């Protein structure tokens, strides 16, 4: 049972344009949603997160939007840069339980 889904395995975007990565979830108990970025042969690094009581969180070029009724969140990167090329994982957790449930990941490629 895949509680967190990233249905796009890959995404290719022109440098300078907006990258939009999507994530859907099924468990309405999730309280927090996090985005991680991962380069090959490295551990994931934290990017940005959002609490379920909010619908938007922004940090520099990164913005996460949460639509609780649709059980959907998205990560917007603007403007996209070549260094953003990586695999992006969406993750969710429940307050009081430290476990993270990860989506399958989306490989983002930024083309010059």
- Smallest separation, CB 34 to another protein (Å): 6
Evaluated on CA atoms 99, 95, 2, 86, the torsion sign reads: negative
- Smallest separation, CB 47 to another protein (Å): 10
Please identify, using beta-carbon distances, which residue of 28 and 99 lies nearer to another protein.
99
Please identify, using beta-carbon distances, which residue of 17 and 54 lies nearer to another protein.
54
64's tokens: 């996460």
Rounded to 5 degrees, what are φ and ψ at 84? -80, -10
| Contact residues for another protein, defined by CB under 8 A | 9, 32, 34, 36, 41-46, 49, 51, 89, 93, 95, 97-105
DSSP secondary-structure letter at 17? S
Please identify, using beta-carbon distances, which residue of 12 and 95 lies nearer to another protein.
95
- Smallest separation, CB 82 to another protein (Å): 22
Please identify, using beta-carbon distances, which residue of 84 and 105 lies nearer to another protein.
105
Following DSSP, what letter does each residue of 33-91 receive, concatenated?
EEEEEE-TTS--EEEEEEETT-SEEEETTEEEEEETTTTEEEEEESS--GGG-EEEEEE
């Amino acid at each position: 049972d895949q509680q967190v889904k990233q249905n796009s395995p890959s995404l290719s975007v022109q440098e300078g344009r907006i990258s939009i990565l999507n994530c859907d979830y099924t468990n309405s108990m999730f309280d927090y949603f996090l985005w991680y970025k991962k380069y090959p042969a490295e551990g994931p690094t934290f990017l940005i997160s959002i609490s379920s009581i909010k619908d938007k969180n922004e940090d520099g070029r990164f913005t996460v939007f949460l639509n609780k009724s649709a059980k959907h969140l998205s990560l917007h990167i603007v403007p996209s840069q070549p260094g953003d090329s990586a695999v992006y994982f969406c993750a969710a957790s429940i307050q009081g339980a430290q476990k993270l449930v990860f989506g399958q990941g989306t490989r983002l490629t930024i083309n010059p």
